[in-house]
Amino acid sequence: MNEEIQDHEFDERLRWQLRALRTDVPPANDLWPGIAARLEAPRPRVAHRRAFAWLAAAAAVVMAFGIGWQLRPLAQAPAPIAASLVQREAESMTRDYDAAMRRLQAAAPAANNDPVLHELDRSAGLIRDALQRDPDADFLLQRLRHTYEKRLALTQRALLG
């Protein structure tokens, strides 16, 4: 506590000493007329400044184009990953469907003569072709799943009925 009092007294003395040092000295002459004259004087146009501005603008455009060109592959990188996931899912679903159809056809080969079933097979083929053209189309994957489910359900019904 004693140290705090001493520090406070020291700060107070220092402040008074610094205040005593301050003396305002007026300028020897009035500076405003010279400042006003320089503000009102026309600035000379320098040709190289304008050329430099065009050069800087052109460099900025080239740099922006270059940066955009370099970032373009990064912006497109996630699309092939998503596309391969959809394609892999479609391929896996098709393998499972083919395996289930082989088992059902082995049980009753005559059940596949219905034209509705052939139309569903044709639709599934068209959807697979569309997935080859647009590999990241998730809605096509959903349509393929629905078509396979419908085909399997109708085949099972034909076997049971």
Q: Note down pLDDT in tens along the chain; length 161 residues.
A: 455 556 667 788 888 888 778 777 777 888 888 888 888 877 766 666 666 676 777 777 777 777 776 776 544 455 555 556 888 888 888 888 888 888 877 776 666 677 888 888 899 999 999 888 888 888 888 999 999 888 888 888 877 76
In a domain, 128, yes or no: yes
Residue numbers of the domain that contains 68: 46-76
Task: Tell me whether residue 1 is in a domain.
Answer: no
Looking up tokens 């020897």 gives 28
The answer on 59 and 88 residing in a single domain is: no
123 Cβ contact list (under 8 Å, min separation 6): 147
Same domain (yes/no): 85, 71: no
Regarding whether 143 and 108 lie in a shared domain, the answer is: yes
- Measured CA to CA, the distance from residue 147 to residue 131 in angstroms comes to 14
* Same domain (yes/no): 105, 59: no
